[in-house]
Every structure is written in structure tokens, then in C-alpha cells.
Amino acid sequence: MSMAGTARVSGTASEDVRWYQRAVFYEVLVRGFFDKNDDGTGDIPGLIAKLDYLEWLGVDCIWLLPFYQSPLRDGGYDISDYWTVLPEYGQIADVAQLVDEAHRRGMRIIADLVMNHTSDQHPWFLESRQDRTNPRADWYVWSDDDQRYADARVIFVDTEKSNWSLDPQRGQYYWHRFFSHQPDLNYDNPEVADTMLDVVRYWLDIGLDGFRLDAVPYLFERDGTDCENLPETHAYLRRLRKEVDSLYPGKVLLAEANQWPEDVVEYFGAGDECHMCFHFPLMPRMFMAVRREQRYPVTEILARTPSVPEGCSWGIFLRNHDELTLEMVTDEERDYMWSEYAKDPRMKRNMGIGRRLAPLVDADRRVGELLHSLLFSLPGSPVLYYGDEIGMGDNIYLGDRDGVRTPMQWSPDRNAGFSRADFAQLYLPPLMDPVYGYQSVNVEAQMRNPSSILHWMRRMLEVRRQHPVFGTGTMTVVSTDNPSVLAYVREPAGGDPEAQAAGVAGSDPALAAVAGFVGAGGQRGAEATPPDVVLCIGNLSRFAQPAMLPLQRWQGMTPIELLGRVPFPAVGEGPFFITLPPYGFYWFALMERQGSGVTADVGPAST
């Protein structure tokens, strides 16, 4: 399926078990995507109705926020029944149909799974809290006092004072790393550990292609530790992975562990825990690099990111349904990000900033495109957040994190084309402000406008898909004296047969047709396909910038710009000189001119 979306997903096992390394993910809030039954809330049939759109956009895998039965006090992350779908969203049969329809279009579906805790409305908890002897008495973490595990930090500092809350009914304290209405399950109880594997098997049987595992560092608690990243937690993840690999090959486990990369990498294990982990610290640093107009915030975090085991990938993102996560930057950097991006105190949420991408960059399309060009070309699989492909805004006056969860803006029609319910019935009002409101920002208008950000996004995803090296290649930063310029080369890792076989032009027939060029570094034998090598250059400054790039290793190669397939002057003996407009970026394939009769040549070639 990585090839131009021609392959189709069979639904159970797939020959391409590493699909996630080349995939582009798209995060969907079912509630906010499309309302099929006109009740004011998005639903799974609504998402099915929009699969054609996502296929057209070039999405490979859809990530669904929790769709399980829930009192919805935390956006569905407070599950009250793992076996059923929230009735507003649909039924199990709808999920099965969604999976089938997506697979038919070459797309996959993964879903959030909250293993660490349940809602306090979950029958397990209702039973557990009754007394100290009931059959589920040990399914949660109970204590006579609130002093145990004192070294564990409180994560939601705005709302919670302690990780313990007193349950008056049972007369004991229960443990919760997040909200007090989300008691942590007790994984030391084998029944709990086994039951969660039942949950996993149940949904994989229905056809899901994997899970985004919420809050994985916190499964176990131990005295004298901070109760994060414990060996017991890793052991349980290995058990889960083994189960998934043996019964359901080609499924993916994506860990949410908001930690420093050197700690997060533990969740890949030796390639025997999660297939993917989110790279959290990269995200705020991409914003910071643009603000500072220098590359070091990005390059230094990449330099301290350990390499991942074979078959593993980072999930990288610019924004998601949570805050601009600042837990992983230093205090000083956090203050700085706050002062830069969240002058309004309402925008502060917990340890982060609750804004969408477009308002974060003051609706500057150049910055948005630059940031996306980084997202699509840095090592890892990009994760888009619904609505960011059209530059949707947010509503900071809605409570909690709802500001970035407003309805998808499909058209300038009533309710943004999201729902035909009465306006007052909508789960949240669509944006109606003059800059980001649905009258000006919507899918329909942007599909009709070839120069829209939506079309730009689609084109970028297309180019990315044509060059698997973006997903699986190594990355080497190219030195330049200009701190505002970030340049790097993506090359196939040794022994990546697929990227090698993809060859210089990737699977872009038009690029292959640029007469007389073959790829960088290759032997020119007829049998050997030269590898796909891509050079990425970005200008992080709001001013035009020059750069001298030491590309001598590719001397004689011609950089061909990937969006327009325009050949640039060949790399000569000296540094490669290039100028970039404000926030400009280029992606080049490095190709070798072959033979004579080159028609596409431009500029002075130095060879």
C-alpha cells in the first residue's frame, strides 16, 4: 500500500507487515468528523461517508480517538465498557463496516486503547469500591492512606492535588495518575492483565489494524520509584506484543509515552514491545526553531534521540488533540514557549498550550507549510490532526481541551456541513470567527481552489509516498554556517531492500521520466538500481537566507526539486550554494546525469 495506494489491505494478515514505517497517519475525533444521523454528534457511519475524502488526501492510516462506552468526562479516555461502542457513535457492526470500507480503499484503522485506567463508572470499579472483599476488590489500586508512592508526580496539576482520592464507600484511597474519576487498574492482579489481552484480541478480531496505547508508562506502581517506566510495565508490553505478533501479524502498537527520547526508546524494547512511539519533544522544538530562527532546537533533540531497533519507527506530529506538550522541555524553554505562543492565560492548559496549528503560527501559511515539510521529511511517520490540512482554527473559550475539538469544517453551509441537526444540538459549535470560521476555511472551498493549503498538503503526501526513504531512510544533517538553515539528507539505510528497489525516482513516474538522470551514489550497472536519496533544506527565518552546503559527497549529482521536478545546477567541487525565500523549503532528489541528450538541464553544470 505504500506504492501510490494501489495495493489494498486484505483485512487480516498483510504481506507488508512494516506498513506503518511508510504510512501517514490521520487522527480523527469521531465526535467531530461527520454526523450521519443528524443528532449533532459525529458518528462512525459519518466517518465511513468521508473515507473517500481521506483516500483522496492520501492518508494511509486513520487513528480514532476512543469510541468506547464512556461517561465522557475526559473525551472518552474514561472508558466504562471496553466491549461496546458509545451509542452516539454507532455499534460494533459500524466499526466492522468502517474497517472493511477503509481496507477496500487501501487504508488502515487504529484506535486508542486506554489500558492504565477506567472511568469510575466502569462496572469493575463500581464493584471494587463496594467493600474490601468483593471479587474485584483488587482490580484497582487501593490504600489505607494517601502517602504511598509519594515520588510519583501529579500530571494534571491544574485539577488534581494528589494521585490518591478517598472513596467514602470503601473507606480507602484509590490510585489515579490522571483525573480522580479515572482510577488506575491494578496490573499486579493477573485477572486484570489477562482481561486487557482479551480486550485487545476482541478488537483485532473485529479488524482493527492496531492500537495507540494511551499512557503506557504508568501501568505498574512500585514503592520508592516515580512509578513510571517500570520493568514490570515493559514485561507486560512484551507479553502484549508477543500475543499480537503471533495471532495478528501486521498489526501495530503505538505507544504514548511523554518522556525524553532516551527513555521513550525503552518502549520499543529490543524490537519486542511497541512498533511505534510518539516522539514528543521534537514537536515543541519545531515551533521553537521557527521562533528562534535557528535549527539547534531541532537538531539537538535529534542528536540526542537514540536510534530505534529494526522495524520500529517514531510517530511525529505537529499538533494533536492534546496540548502543545511542554512537559519535555526545560522550565526556561517552557516559559519561553508560553510567552511566545500563549500570551492569553486561557490558552494555557496544564503543562501545555491548547491551540491548533494555524493559530499557533498566526495563520502564516508559509510557516505552516515549512513545519509540514519538516513533519513529512524528518525520520518517523507523520501524524496529522483532523482539520489541520485545511488550516482550521480553535476556540479557546470552550472548556478543557474542547477548543481544538470543534466540528470538522466541510463546507460553508449550515453547521459547517458537519451536521444537519439544529445548531443548538451540536456537541460543540463550529468555528465562526472571520479568520478561521467555516465560511472561509472549509474542505469544499479548498478542493475547488488549486492553490489551497489542502491541495498543497495532498501534493506533499503524494511526493512523500513516492519516496519510501522518507519513512525508512537514515537522516544526516548537512552542515551550514547559516544557523537559520536546516538541511539534511535522507538515504536508504543499508539493506533496506524496499527503498533500494524503489530506486532513484521512488515511484514517481514523472521524475523517472526526467531524461537522463539516475539516482545518487549508485553503481551504473543495469542490474543495480541507484538508491533514492533526498536532500531537504528549510529556512527557519522570516527573512530570505543564503546557504552554502558541503555536498561534495554528491559531487556531479543534479538536485531535482520534487514538487516541480525542476533540475537545479549540479553539485560541484565547492559548496552547493542556494537561496531560500522566507520560511522557504526544498526537497530534492539527488540524481546523476546519464549519457547525453539531456533536455531538462538548466543552469551551469560544473562537471
Query: Measured from the CB of residue 354, what is the shortest distance to other proteins in angstroms?
Result: 18
Query: Measured from the CB of residue 293, what is the shortest distance to other proteins in angstroms?
Result: 6
Q: How far is CA 169 from CA 136, 172, 334, 363, 500, in A?
A: 15, 8, 41, 51, 63
Known catalytic residue at 256: yes
- Collapsing DSSP to helix, strand or coil, 114 comes out as strand
Establish how many alpha carbons lie within 13 A of residue 43's alpha carbon, considering only the half-sphere containing its beta carbon: 21
Say if residues 71 and 78 touch (Cβ distance below 8 Å). Answer: yes
Which of 192, 193, 212, 216 shows the shortest CA–CA distance to 203?
212
Q: From the CB of residue 510, how many other CB atoms can be counted at a distance below 10 Å?
A: 9
Query: Measured from the CB of residue 482, what is the shortest distance to other proteins in angstroms?
Result: 7
What cell does 583 get? 520560511
Query: Measured from the CB of residue 557, what is the shortest distance to other proteins in angstroms?
Result: 13
Query: Measured from the CB of residue 101, what is the shortest distance to other proteins in angstroms?
Result: 44
Measured from the CB atom, is 47 or 578 closer to other proteins?
578
Measured from the CB atom, is 305 or 442 closer to other proteins?
305
Given the residues 78, 214, 496, 498, the one annotated as active site: 214
Give the residues lining the site for other proteins (CB under 8 A).
291-296, 299-300, 302-304, 332-333, 336, 339-340, 343, 362, 477, 479, 481-484, 541-543, 550, 552-553, 573-574
Measured from the CB atom, is 159 or 607 closer to other proteins?
607
Measured from the CB atom, is 238 or 542 closer to other proteins?
542
Measured from the CB atom, is 52 or 300 closer to other proteins?
300
Tell me the C-alpha distance between 50 and 454, whole Å: 15
In the DSSP assignment, the letter for residue 406 is P
Region of 336 (left: φ > 0; alpha: ψ -120 to 50; beta: rest) is alpha
Q: How far is CA 323 from CA 122, 384, 500, 524, in A?
A: 27, 14, 38, 50
- Collapsing DSSP to helix, strand or coil, 86 comes out as coil
290: phi then psi, degrees, rounded to nearest 5: -65, -40
The position carrying cell 486487557 is 196
Query: Measured from the CB of residue 347, what is the shortest distance to other proteins in angstroms?
Result: 12
Q: Inter-axis angle of helices 365-377 and 282-292, to 10 degrees?
A: 140
What cell does 143 get? 490504600
Q: In whole angstroms, what separates CA 145 from the centre of its chain?
A: 39
Measured from the CB atom, is 423 or 577 closer to other proteins?
577
Residues known to be catalytic: 214, 256
